[in-house]
A and B are shown apart, each in its own frame.
Chain A
């Protein structure tokens, strides 16, 4: 079962002191390294800051380009991951070990067309 982790950027990344951020970032990088090594994290990337985002709005087939991210700044996505585990409990147990000081992580099952 695959789950998409949608991870908000978190206050710590935007507002913390440089020193705090570097320390937290080192933990985060270390955590992701371990997850990839375990084979359970099968994808994932960190994203550039939300102010670099461009959003395409589609209305009745018409495409409009807007200079802003999808989400409000408070919940702007900072990165994503893809977990391949047995069930939701395993996914949640892994997410609960994430080291960043704050933020939100949406855990969403990826639709399996083959099922």
Chain B
């Protein structure tokens, strides 16, 4: 495997691109998720046998379609249930149907608000990003049968309750797009700060989310929020190499070796933010990306532009008055007005955030800044008991013994 990572990656990219397009088109043409996916999956298996040996065909999409059609004919010839679908499959030409917004329909259908969040996530990864059920189950530490059932149930609901296969109209687009962005960001977070899974799987998941966000940017170029989300994801990924120390332990932003951040990726993300800003519709992902960019562009933790970050959190709070945003504002206040002022703000959130591990970890850090080590250790212990993530656990365990400063932005 080590000798040939490059061609393998290239193949994977082509598969994802072409198979994704083909699945999306077939779902539209056949009106059947399962059939579309199975047919394409069969063709991909055959491509995996031939392409590495014979090279990628010039018209990869047509090759896949032809193969998919042949496979479908073989597979369903004997099954009368599929007779009607068979006619449709047989009637497809050799040229792959290329409608640029088919995958957009697919994403919006997978993220339809009538589907539960975990079903949206599973279906998006399965149908749009082309992950296998096994891969998704492994990433989310769910038994494969459970995840399989979740996907089957979601597909059945799409068919029986007739969730339309379409891109929502302009009046619905903002709320429906928000739903899609939430699903993608959730996938990213599961990879980046997740509560489960090994590092390698999580990194893949984070990359899958980046790919999905990029896809959305390409298909909705006039929408600023996908640009914001893509920038946010890339800014986080740019810091990935510095997030872990040699022992695989999580390193807080404050203590990260900034020379290990990917400067080119940061510059690229900043230009995405600028492109989004040019569309003159501010949104939460753009603001979060701007905050992340200010962190990334600061030469050191001490030279971070806290005043600007605080201002951005104030704007964010107007869009999203959640206690999590308020907690982040309070943390920033630590660097503008000192730990006592920040702690006072944090205490106000004790009712909504009690039991949220980062609330207790923040409280611990501020108490420690104020010299109250006993109370700080008690809060750290609460935070530790609450976090499921191995990396964060190690960090908190570490802090319990070594007494470090903290910031929740890791």
Q: Which residues in A have some Cβ–Cβ distance to B below 8 Å?
A: 1, 3, 86-89, 92-93, 107-109
Could you tell me if B161 and A88 are in contact, using CB atoms closer than 8 angstroms? yes
Could you tell me if B162 and A109 are in contact, using CB atoms closer than 8 angstroms? yes
Could you tell me if B163 and A89 are in contact, using CB atoms closer than 8 angstroms? yes
Q: Does B160 contact A (CB under 8 A)?
A: yes
Could you tell me if B163 and A87 are in contact, using CB atoms closer than 8 angstroms? yes
- Per DSSP, are chain A's interface residues mostly helix, strand or loop, or mixed? mixed
Could you tell me if A1 and B114 are in contact, using CB atoms closer than 8 angstroms? no
Q: Which 8 A-B pairs have the closest CB atoms?
A: A87-B164, A87-B162, A109-B161, A1-B162, A88-B163, A88-B161, A89-B164, A88-B162
Distance of A71 Cα from B163 Cα, bound (Å): 28
Distance of A92 Cα from B179 Cα, bound (Å): 16
Q: Does B197 contact A (CB under 8 A)?
A: no
* 0/1 string, B160-186, CB within 8 A of A gives 1: 111110101000100000000000000
Question: Which of A87, A88, A92: most chain B Cβ within 10 A?
Answer: A88
Distance of A17 Cα from B408 Cα, bound (Å): 48
Q: A1-B162, A88-B163, A88-B164 are in contact. List 10 more A-B contacts (CB 8 A).
A: A86-B162, A86-B164, A88-B114, A88-B161, A88-B162, A93-B172, A107-B161, A108-B161, A109-B160, A109-B162
In the complex, what residue of chain B is closest to A93 when comparing beta carbons?
Answer: B172
Question: Which of B112, B161, B166, B168: most chain A Cβ within 10 A?
Answer: B161
A33 to chain B, nearest CB (A): 24
Provide a sorted-by-A list of 5 A–B residue pairs whose CB atoms are within 8 angstroms. Answer: A87-B162, A88-B114, A89-B168, A107-B161, A108-B161
Distance of A1 Cα from B161 Cα, bound (Å): 9
Q: How many residue pairs at the A-B interface have CB separations less than 8 Å?
A: 25
In the complex, what residue of chain A is closest to B161 when comparing beta carbons?
Answer: A109
B146-164 CB contacts (< 8 Å) to partner A: 160-164
A10 to chain B, nearest CB (A): 22
Distance of A88 Cα from B164 Cα, bound (Å): 7
Report chain A residues within 8 Å CB of B161.
3, 88, 107-109
Could you tell me if A92 and B160 are in contact, using CB atoms closer than 8 angstroms? no
A58 to chain B, nearest CB (A): 26
Distance of A86 Cα from B162 Cα, bound (Å): 8
Distance of A22 Cα from B172 Cα, bound (Å): 32
B284 to chain A, nearest CB (A): 23
In the complex, what residue of chain B is closest to A85 when comparing beta carbons?
Answer: B162
Distance of A93 Cα from B172 Cα, bound (Å): 9
A103 to chain B, nearest CB (A): 19
In the complex, what residue of chain A is closest to B176 when comparing beta carbons?
Answer: A89
Could you tell me if B162 and A92 are in contact, using CB atoms closer than 8 angstroms? no
Distance of A1 Cα from B162 Cα, bound (Å): 8
Distance of A91 Cα from B84 Cα, bound (Å): 28
* 0/1 string, B107-122, CB within 8 A of A gives 1: 0000010100000000
Report chain B residues within 8 Å CB of A109.
160-162
In the complex, what residue of chain A is closest to B165 when comparing beta carbons?
Answer: A87
In the complex, what residue of chain B is closest to A108 when comparing beta carbons?
Answer: B161
Distance of A93 Cα from B166 Cα, bound (Å): 15
Report chain A residues within 8 Å CB of B114.
88, 92
Report chain A residues within 8 Å CB of B166.
89
Distance of A93 Cα from B161 Cα, bound (Å): 14
Distance of A107 Cα from B164 Cα, bound (Å): 15
Distance of A107 Cα from B160 Cα, bound (Å): 12
Report chain B residues within 8 Å CB of A88.
112, 114, 161-164
Distance of A92 Cα from B176 Cα, bound (Å): 13
